[in-house]
Amino acid sequence: MCIISLLYSINENTFSRKHRKYNSILAGEASAKFTSLLGSIAVFDCRICELPNKELVLDYFRWRNEDAHRNALNAYCYWKLRENNHSRIQATKKIEKLSTSEKNELLFQFGINFNNLPSWQKRGVGVYWDKIEKKGFKPKTKQEVITKRNNLKSNYDLPIKKEYENLILGFINKES
């Protein structure tokens, strides 16, 4: 399972903010890119949630972060059970009955300490615009100048708890 959550600037006006256009373009782009990368068909759905205040935006991203962790734990357990000759139904039923600590113990029996896995495998990857300074040159004045440019940054080690909230709040407050 793959889920993509996007936070748009309140000032974003691409496609005149038409929901139907965003839904079709975003689902199509994600499906095409993942199909290309995987070498097999990947299909994405899209829905837009307009949240009325910063607190709800923060809650949404906090929930998505925890949900990613939960989904990753379940997926690791499921595929380890499948590798160990459990059917889809057997693996699914076994996981449904286990608590988080029992799922961690199950993985430990296969030699996997879930806590030691890379962060991106447990909580996903953050991709966002970051400002960087670039040296430039003005030919007319023959002067070197420093400009700020947007740089797409991939974060494979997203923070957790309060640090994650602060990261998200930084994006939200930057747009206010």
pLDDT in tens, 5-33: 888 888 888 889 888 898 889 889 989 99
Q: d(Cα 89, Cα 121) in Å, to the nearest integer?
A: 24
Amino acid at 113: N
Share of the chain above pLDDT 70, in %: 98
Q: How confident is the model at residue 1 (pLDDT cuts 50, 70, 90)?
A: low
Sequence-ordered list of residues with C-beta below 8 angstroms from that of 152, at least 6 positions apart, any chain: 127, 128, 129, 130
Residue 101's H or E segment, with its range, is: helix 100-109
Question: For 100, phi and psi rounded to 5 degrees?
Answer: -60, -45
Query: Domains of the chain (ranges plus CATH)?
Result: 1-50 (no CATH), 51-175 (3.30.70.3000)
What is the pTM assigned to this prediction? 0.79
